[in-house]
Amino acid sequence: MAVNYYDQCMERVKEFYGNLEKTRKIREDFFERGIEPPADSVSRIVLDSWHFCQKNNISPKSIHRRFVAQKEYDTRCEKMRSVIKVIRPIFDTYMLQSGGRVNTLDLYDEDLVFIYTFGGVNATKESRYAVPGVCCDPESAGPTAMSLAKSFGTPQRLIGPEHVDENLQDRVCTAVPIYDGSNKIIGIINIVEKLDVEALRSLGVMSAIAQGISFSLENLRQRREIELTGLMNQQILETVANGIIATDFDGVIRRINRAALRALDIKYQDEIVGRTLDDCFGKDNPLSEFLRSSENSRSVNFSLLFRNRTHHFTGQIWKIDNRRNEGTSLLLTFQDMGTARTLLKNVAGWQANMTFENVMGHSAEMQNVIRIAKQAAELPCNILIQGESGTGKDVFAQAIHNASAFRNGPFVTVNCAAIPHSLIESELFGYEGGAFTGARKDGQPGKFELAQDGTLFLDEINSMPLDMQVKLLRVLQEKKVTRVGGRTPIPLNIRIIAASNEDLLTIVKQERFRMDLYYRLNVVMVEIPPLRRRTEDIEEICRKFLQGRDVFLLSDAVERMKHYSWPGNVRELENVIERAEIQARMEGKAYIDEGIIAKCGVTLDSAGEENEAGSFGGRRGHAGAEREALSGDAGSSFREEDAPEAPLARSGGKEQGSFGRRTSSRELVRDRKEQELLSALEENHWNISQTAKQLGMARNTVYNRMRRYGLSE
Structure-model confidence comparison of residues 305 and 658, the more confident one: 305
Instruction: Decide if pLDDT at 175 tops 70.
Output: yes
3-class secondary-structure state, position 266:
coil
Cβ atoms within 10 Å, residue 697: 28
Q: How far apart are CA 561 and CA 602, in angstroms?
A: 7
Q: In 319-387, which residue ranges form alpha helices assigned H by DSSP?
A: 337-347, 364-377
Is the per-residue pLDDT at 9 higher than 70? no
Q: Would the pLDDT of 345 be above 70? A: no
Work out the average pLDDT over 73-92: 84
CA separation for the pair 440, 298 (Å, rounded): 12
Which of the residue ranges 402-416, 588-602, 605-619 would you say has the lowest mean pLDDT?
605-619
Over residues 496-508, the mean pLDDT reads: 93
Give mean pLDDT, residues 165-182: 84
CA distance 702 to 691: 8
Find the helix or strand (DSSP H, E) in which 654 lies.
none
List, for residues 188-221, the tens digit of each pLDDT value. Answer: 988 887 777 666 666 666 667 777 777 777 777 7
Q: Where in the chain is the domain with CATH 3.30.450.20?
A: 249-336
Question: What whole-number distance in Å separates Cα of residue 567 and Cα of residue 575?
Answer: 12
Checking DSSP bridges between strand 134-135 and strand 383-386, what pairing results, if any? unpaired
The pLDDT of residue 660 is above 70? no
**Above 50 in pLDDT, residue 700?**
yes
Q: What is the pLDDT of residue 548?
A: 85
Angle at which helix 555-562 crosses helix 538-545, to 10 degrees, equals 120
Q: Give ∠ CA 254-256-262 in degrees, rounded to 5.
A: 150
Helix or strand or coil: residue 673?
Answer: helix
- C-alpha triplet 518, 521, 524: angle, nearest 5°: 115
**Residue 422 CA to its chain's centroid (Å):** 34
Please state, in angstroms and rounded to a whole number, the distance separating the CA atoms of residues 454 and 439.
Answer: 27
Q: Is the pLDDT of residue 465 over 80?
A: yes
Please write down the long-range contacts of 341-349, taking CB distance under 8 Å and 24 or more positions apart: 341/409, 341/410, 341/449, 341/450, 341/451, 341/452, 341/453, 341/454, 342/410, 344/410, 344/450, 345/409, 345/410, 345/411, 345/454
- Which CATH homologous superfamily contains domain 349-529? P-loop containing nucleotide triphosphate hydrolases (3.40.50.300)
For residue 655, pLDDT beyond 60? no
Give φ, ψ of 521 to 5 degrees.
Answer: -80, -35
The confidence band for 98, taking pLDDT boundaries of 50, 70 and 90, is low
Q: Which residue has the higher pLDDT, 529 or 637?
A: 529
DSSP 681: H
> ∠ CA 67-107-169 to the nearest 5 degrees?
75
Max CA distance (Å), the chain: 163
pLDDT in tens, 22-64: 888 998 889 888 899 888 888 899 999 999 988 888 888 878 7
User: Lowest mean pLDDT: which of 145-154, 427-436, 502-511?
Assistant: 427-436
Residue 620 pLDDT class (50, 70, 90 cuts): very low
How many residues are given for the chain? 713
| Count of other CB atoms within 10 angstroms of residue 204 | 11
Fold of 672-713: Arc Repressor Mutant, subunit A (1.10.10)
The CA distance from 639 to 630, in Å, is: 8
**Which 3 state secondary structure label does DSSP give 398?**
helix
Is 301's pLDDT higher than 80? no
| Amino acid (1-letter code) at residue 668 | L
Q: Average per-residue pLDDT in the chain? A: 79
Q: What is the 3-state secondary structure (H, E, C) of 189-237?
A: EEEEEECCHHHHHHHHHHHHHHHHHHHHHHHHHHHHHHHHHHHHHHHHH
Question: What does the alpha-carbon distance between residue 161 and residue 321 come to, in Å, rounded to a whole number?
Answer: 63
Read off the pLDDT of each residue in 212-236 and give the average, rounded to a whole number: 74
Residue 96: CB atoms within 10 A of its CB come to 12
Residue ranges of alpha helices (H) inside 243-363 are: 258-263, 277-281, 286-292, 337-347
Classified by CATH at the fold level, domain 63-223 comes out as Beta-Lactamase (3.30.450)
Which stretch of 239-248, 369-378, 595-604 has the lowest confidence by average pLDDT? 239-248
**What are the CA-CA distances from residue 241 to residues 238, 254, 333, 337, 408 (Å)?**
8, 19, 10, 13, 19
Give the pLDDT score at 263: 84
Let me know if domain 249-336 sits in CATH 3.30.450.20. yes
Tell me which of 524-533, 588-597, 672-681 is least confident: 672-681
How would you label 562-597 residue by residue, b for 16+ Cβ within 10 Å and e otherwise? bbbbbebbbebbbebbebbbebbeeeeeeebbbbbb
- List where CATH 1.10.10 sits in the chain: 672-713
Q: Are 300 and 332 in contact (CB under 8 A)?
A: no
Average pLDDT over residues 432-448: 75
Predicted TM-score (pTM) of the model is: 0.51
CB-based contacts of 298-304 (< 8 A; 24+ apart in sequence): 298/442, 299/442, 300/442, 301/440, 301/442, 301/443, 301/444, 301/445, 302/334, 302/433, 302/442, 302/443, 303/432, 303/443, 303/486, 303/488, 304/264
| pLDDT greater than 70 at residue 687 | yes
Residue among 558, 551, 553, 557 nearest 590 (CA): 551
Distance between CA 615 and CA 532 in Å, rounded?
A: 10
Q: Tell me, what's the pLDDT at 157?
A: 85
Q: Which of 277-286, 557-566, 602-611 has the lowest mean pLDDT?
A: 602-611
Q: What are the start and end residues of each CATH 1.10.8.60 domain in the chain? A: 532-671
Q: Is pLDDT of 695 > 70?
A: yes
Q: What percent of the chain has pLDDT over 90?
A: 30
Nearest CA among 365, 624, 337, 689 for reference residue 493: 337
Q: Which neighbouring-strand residues pair with 481?
A: 490
Question: Tell me, what's the pLDDT at 432?
Answer: 79
What integer is the mean pLDDT of 496-517?
93
- Residues of the chain within CATH 3.40.50.300 domain(s) are 349-529
Put the strands of the sheet holding 455-459 in their side by side order.
411-415, 455-459, 495-500, 383-386, 524-527
Residue 275 burial class via C-beta count within 10 angstroms: exposed 0-12, middle 13-18, buried 19 and up: middle
The secondary structure of 77-127 as a DSSP string is HHHTHHHHHHHHHHHHHHHHHTTT-EEEEEEEETT-BEEEEES-HHHHHH-
pLDDT band at 666 (very low <50, low <70, confident <90, very high): very low
> Which of the following CATH numbers is that of domain 532-671: 1.10.8.60, 2.40.100.10, 3.40.50.720, 1.20.120.1200?
1.10.8.60
Residue 623 pLDDT greater than 50, yes or no: no
Amino acid at 309: R
- The three-point CA angle 607-612-617 to 5° equals 135
Query: Where residue 325 falls among pLDDT bands split at 50, 70, 90?
Result: low
What number of CA atoms fall less than 13 Å from residue 203's CA on the CB side?
12
Find, among 532, 528, 557, the residue nearest to 543 by Cα: 557
| Residue 135: partners with Cβ closer than 8 Å, 6 or more residues away | 65, 66, 67, 68, 111, 112, 113, 114, 141
- Range of lowest pLDDT (194-208, 302-316, 437-451): 194-208
pLDDT winner (highest mean) among 240-254, 353-367, 676-690: 353-367
235: confidence class by pLDDT, cuts 50, 70, 90: confident
Q: Using pLDDT thresholds of 50, 70 and 90, give the confidence band for residue 324.
A: low
* pLDDT value of position 642: 35
Phi, psi of 244 (to 5 degrees): -135, 130
Contacts (Cβ under 8 Å, ≥6 apart) of 8: none
pLDDT at 617: 43
Which residues neighbour 432 within 8 Å (Cβ) at sequence distance 6 or greater?
Answer: 303, 443, 483, 484, 485, 486
Q: What pLDDT sits at residue 351?
A: 74
More confident residue, 308 or 541: 541
Closest by CA position to 383, among listed 366, 367, 401: 401
